[in-house]
Amino acid sequence: MKALIIDDEPGIRLALGHFMLGRGYEILEASSGSAGLALARTELPDIVFLDRKLPDMDGEALLHPLTSPEIGASVVIMTAYVELDEAVQAMKNGAEYYFPKPLDLEHISVILERLEEKLKLKNEIGHFRRLSELDGEDVIVGDSPHIIRIQRLVSLLAKNITTPVLILGESGCGKEMVAKSIHKQSDCKGPMVEINCASLSESLLESELFGHEKGAFTDAKKTKTGLFEVAQNGTVFLDEIAEMPLPIQAKLLKVLDSRTFRRVGGIADLKTNARFMAATNKDIAALVRNGLFREDLFYRLNVLPITVPPLRERGRDVIMLAEFFVKRLGESMGKVGMKISSEVLEQLQHFRWPGNVRELKNIIERMLILAPAGEILREHLPSEIRRGASSVKDWPDPADLRSLRQVEEEYIVHVLKMTGNNHSHAAVRLGISRSTLLARLKIMKSGGSNSDM
């Protein structure tokens, strides 16, 4: 779970952050109300510790946006001056708790236990609600923390139809389903049209997107309407956008900025109000650094990106997805009421799924074909899943392995960057003392080794 601490006192953020890290939370920090709200809108924390008096605003002014469906956080207000009337009003306005400074960690521990129980119940209710929705189309199946966060982002982006959407993730993890879910939940009345940027040559891709006029090139026997026109009042989904040629990237940027385009061979500017969504399984930021993807287009798309996690990081979502596919595919194959044994579910959950959700769906379809009726059993599993073979495939080649010292040093540098080179904060994140961190940095600088790390 994520906890956001909004307080202008560094000592409060450090102490509370260290305590929350010990409880397994991912910690976010902000020293002002505006910075805290911006962080909450992008990171969607589960719990927010909010100072009553902030440098730029009254903390209570943040209660409504923080507790709104768009963010949906549980808010705990901290204050140096407790007034009963203010505490009562804050609770009426959506705060879960209101407690005084200096911090009493035992008191906070009790509060967290209650909030965690409430969040657990909320997630369980959401789980059963999502289960009841699984008969619908284009649903995002799962209730892991990753997926709950994505569902909240989907709901948020669906209401902001002018904002481009960039969806990141490994091949087969469900990026297209996220795009369809955003389109479905939005007010877009037009269709969602899709194109795979890797499947067409540059000239064909340009013609498909922009359309062309009769006679624009040798085979242009008649005028062709492009996807930007077809998707009026709807959505254009550009899959594998990292494969889009640079000249077309430049033209796409113009469409995003001006909402106008020209057909190939045309002279008239046409308007489009289509929403743009894009997806890729590549490290698009690395492509930008290497000059293989336009930086200006990347920043235009990267407003509020959604990263879809690989299936191996989604825990019990594997079971929920497997049962969903058994039901959905079973009905289409005339095998209504098929079940999947607990032994099979356990093995599916512990498989590494290099092909992600797409691979799981294909395996379920295969087992449904092999299972005569009633229940899918262990003997219907592919041999590689019974052996757990993919766990071996995931190891890198020995020639590519780095030393433990290299990994440690890279991680220390990463944490220092993440904390703005604040040694105290970095030490807390690393779980070591500040003096140990400084000693380690000295050794790193000298190029020596340290057996204590």
The 10s digit of each residue's pLDDT in 219-250 is 888 999 999 999 999 999 999 999 999 999 99
Quick one: pLDDT at residue 176?
A: 94
Using the predicted structure, report yes or no on whether residue 449 has a pLDDT greater than 60: no
> Residue 388: left if φ>0, alpha if ψ -120 to 50, beta else—which one?
left
Angle at 7 between CA 147 and CA 123, to 5 degrees: 25
Average of per-residue pLDDT across 173-189:
92
Quick one: pLDDT at residue 87?
A: 66
DSSP letter (8 states) at residue 244? S
Average of per-residue pLDDT across 366-389:
86
Between 344 and 434, name the one with better pLDDT.
344
The 10s digit of each residue's pLDDT in 195-228 is 999 999 999 999 999 999 998 888 888 999 999 9
Least confident of 64-78, 98-112, 118-132: 118-132
Using the predicted structure, report yes or no on whether residue 194 has a pLDDT greater than 60: yes
d(CA 269, CA 63): 46
Q: What percent of the chain has pLDDT over 70?
A: 89
Q: CA 159, 160, 164, 166 torsion: positive or negative? A: negative
C-alpha to C-alpha distances, 241 to 82, 254, 278, 292, nearest whole angstrom: 53, 16, 6, 12
The 10s digit of each residue's pLDDT in 393-405 is 444 555 555 666 7
The 10s digit of each residue's pLDDT in 11-33 is 889 989 999 988 888 999 999 99
Between 403 and 274, name the one with better pLDDT.
274
Q: What percent of the chain has pLDDT over 90?
A: 50
Domains of the chain: 2-124 (3.40.50.2300), 145-307 (3.40.50.300), 315-393 (1.10.8.60), 400-446 (1.10.10.60)
Using the predicted structure, report yes or no on whether residue 132 has a pLDDT greater than 80: no
Which of 93-115 are b and which e, b meaning 16 or more Cβ less than 10 Å from the residue's Cβ? eebbbbbeeebeeeebeebbeeb
Q: Which two tokens stand for residue 372?
A: 């005569």
Measuring CA to CA, which residue among 102, 110, 115 is closest to residue 9? Answer: 102
